[in-house]
Amino acid sequence: MRMVIAMVQDQEVNALLSALTEKGHTATKLASTGGFLRQGNTTLLIGTEEAKVQEVVDLIKEVCRTKKRLYSPLAGVERTINSYIPSPIEVEVGGATIFVLKVESFEKI
């Protein structure tokens, strides 16, 4: 048994859950926040057999692709708003962070 932990952007979670469910996988959805842009994301806990781990990872890769977006940074504390003109920077968003862990024990009650 394996536990796949996947952190994905909120915009992609519904499509990913649909794809997982369609293939017979279940997931527990946890709201989370983090990353460079401090935007909302979702952590999915997916318990699966070792033989199906690659299928789960492939589904995540298929649905959660990275994209480039323009981001305007906020003024820092040391700068005043009047003298700060932000220049948009291009950042990569989306994708997923995936961990696969061995599960010593599993019980469904």
pLDDT (tens digit per residue) in 5-40: 999 988 899 999 999 999 999 999 998 877 655 667
Per the model's pLDDT, the better-predicted residue between 10 and 89 turns out to be 10
Check if the beta carbon of residue 16 is closer than 8 Å to that of residue 29: no
Check if the beta carbon of residue 86 is closer than 8 Å to that of residue 32: no
* pLDDT computed for residue 88 by the predictor: 76
For residue 64, the number of C-alpha atoms closer than 13 Å in the C-beta half-sphere is 30
Per the model's pLDDT, the better-predicted residue between 67 and 49 turns out to be 49
Pairwise CA distance, residues 80 & 3, whole Å: 47
Mean pLDDT value of segment 77-81: 55
In single-letter form, the type of residue at position 22 comes to E
Pairwise CA distance, residues 21 & 67, whole Å: 25
The model scores a pTM over 0.95: no
Q: What's the CATH number for 2-102?
A: 3.30.70.120
